[in-house]
Structure 1
């Protein structure tokens, strides 16, 4: 159940990026949110990776609860991807801040990823709800 709740929370953080990416005047607001969003994204990225590792370590669940195992793997994959995409700005600041060319390329990539982030966030909300329901049904 905690996997679904964390995925929903992360997805709620990701969805405003869809709205903000479509309005050019909202870039200033997105820049203010970015530091917090980045650290939260990195934490959730590691949480999602840990969930994927849990799925791999518990392959025997595939024979006992195949729907639950597939749900857990899908939800944690989405969580890891969302976390990475949200944490991208922090990675850019921490790692790429010394190279102006790399930072420019990274900011262009971020502009391309922002609309996909919102769509993945919406998918994450639905998968998170399903994870909560499936935790009661199958596990």
Structure 2
């Protein structure tokens, strides 16, 4: 359930330009999160990478829980991409600063992904909502 909420938050941050046009009051709420966007993005990136690793390790669950596994993998991939885009400043500073070639490669990837930032944000919101609904239905909370 918390993963779903995190997906909605990082999706909203990524799609902020579109969301603030459609929902007028959302700008006030999202502006509160802007100073923490890099930290939220970095945390989402790390958690997303860990999620991809866990999904690969749990491939045996495809036979018994295929919808859950696909949902989990989709969440991890979208979380990694959104985390990379939102937290690139901190990722570049903390991880890529020692290697110029890696830093340039990261900037190239960011430039390519930036054109799809709003789309990934909307996908993130959708995956987050689906994850919350699936959790409520599955666990019958």
TM-score relative to the length of structure 2 = 0.68
Distance 1:49 1:105 in 2: 18
Distance 1:103 1:79, change over 3 A: closer
| 8 Å CA contact retained: 1:7, 1:124 | yes
Distance 1:68 1:77, change over 3 A: same
Distance 1:57 1:109 in 2: 26
| 8 Å CA contact retained: 1:41, 1:82 | yes
Distance 1:66 1:42 in 2: 29
| 8 Å CA contact retained: 1:38, 1:89 | yes
Distance 1:67 1:105 in 2: 34
Aligned twin of 1:85: 85
Aligned twin of 2:73: 73
What's the Cα RMSD here? 3.4
Distance 2:108 2:56 in 1: 35
Q: How many residues align?
A: 126
Aligned twin of 2:4: 4
Distance 1:133 1:124, change over 3 A: same
SS at match of 2:59: coil
Deviates more, 1:119-128 or 1:85-94: 85-94
Give the deviation of 1:87 after TM superposition: 1.2
Aligned twin of 1:120: 120
Structure with greater helix percent: 1
| 8 Å CA contact retained: 2:84, 2:91 | no
Aligned twin of 1:62: 62
Distance 1:54 1:104 in 2: 29
Distance 2:54 2:105 in 1: 35
* Consecutive unaligned residues in structure 2, runs of 5 or more: 21-32
* Consecutive unaligned residues in structure 1, runs of 5 or more: 21-32
| 8 Å CA contact retained: 1:35, 1:89 | no
